[in-house]
Amino acid sequence: MKRSTVLTIAGSDPSGGAGIQADLKTMTAFGCYGMSAITAITVQNTTGVTRVETLDPGLVSAQLDAVFTDIRPDAVKIGMVSCKETIRVIAEKLTEYHAQNIVMDPVMVSTSGHRLMEPDAMDTLIRVLLPLADLSTPNLPEGEALSGLTIASGTDMPCAARKIYDATGHPVLLKGGHLDGCADDLLWNGREEIWLRGRQIKTKNSHGTGCTLSSAIASGLALGLSLESAVREAKTYLSGALAAGLELGNGRGPVDHCFRIEWGPRHDTE
């Protein structure tokens, strides 16, 4: 028997809501075999990030060798990459192994306000790693940083998405989750604007939404979906995981990756 395989290259969140842990849960929910190369250890939970330790770039390189020389990923998701040396190593390895279906979530700052990428790494990210991706998924602050434009409303999104496309040469999914009152994302593929309209779900528990969305897209691509279908399936999955109403932790809790699982013990009754 075969399974579609997906690799996440990202940071660890010990509380399981974002980063590697959210990515692997998402891949499993899509029926894919998830693998990971860890770039950084964060200390965080639902109340915020308190520490970030970047791993030695050589260790990241060795993890990528271990995966690619043994189990070839059908798709790769890249999340938190904190320093430029690690960015270069990842770009080298993805090129060496001819990695395919690369989805890049250009994580810069956590929603709680902690910097997850060093400021001097941005230029290397744009020049060296982003051009290798098949899709990037910036949120609005990341979209502003990449395009140099202010994105104050949905009407500013097409212009910013086009600018990022022109700079990177690949499709862009500009996520509108930080807008008031809606959760509309824009996919610009160089030919057409595809709006993915989303109802904004009223919840404080949205920790890890960006990680979940990009891993879900990578999983869809690994399963053979077109880019547009993979993005649509990912958005549907995320809406379900947000709407499930999981309550964990004292702060911005995680989304629920078990919402499609109908068997097993019930936890909401005695």
Ligand X SMILES: Nc1ncnc2c1ncn2[C@@H]1O[C@H](COP(=O)(O)OP(=O)(O)O)[C@@H](O)[C@H]1O
d(C-alpha 223, C-alpha 11), whole Å: 24
109 counts as binding ligand X under rule CB under 6 A: no
CB atoms within 10 A of CB 201: 17
146, amino acid identity: L
Taking CB under 6 A as the binding criterion, the range among 12-20, 156-164, 185-193, 256-264 that sits at the site for ligand LCLJCK34 is 12-20
d(C-alpha 184, C-alpha 192), whole Å: 16
CB of 172 to ligand LCLJCK34, least distance (A): 16
d(C-alpha 34, C-alpha 30), whole Å: 10
The one of ligand X, ligand LCLJCK34, none whose footprint includes residue 214, by CB under 5 to 8 A per kind, is: none
112 counts as binding ligand X under rule CB under 6 A: no
Taking CB under 6 A as the binding criterion, the range among 105-113, 128-136, 149-157, 226-234 that sits at the site for ligand LCLJCK34 is 105-113
209 counts as binding ligand X under rule CB under 6 A: yes
Site residues (CB under 6 A) for ligand LCLJCK34, limited to 110-149: 110-111, 116
Q: How many residues of this chain bind ligand X (CB under 6 A)?
A: 20
Give the pair of three-digit tokens for residue 103: 């989805």
Nearest to ligand LCLJCK34 of 199, 204 (CB atom): 204
The one of ligand X, ligand LCLJCK34, none whose footprint includes residue 36, by CB under 5 to 8 A per kind, is: none
CB atoms within 10 A of CB 75: 26
Give me the sheet containing 102-104, strands edge to edge. Answer: 48-54, 33-45, 5-12, 75-78, 102-104, 135-136, 172-174, 185-188, 193-196
Please give the residue ranges that form the binding site for ligand LCLJCK34 (CB under 6 A): 10-11, 13, 18-19, 42, 79-80, 107, 110-111, 116, 207-211
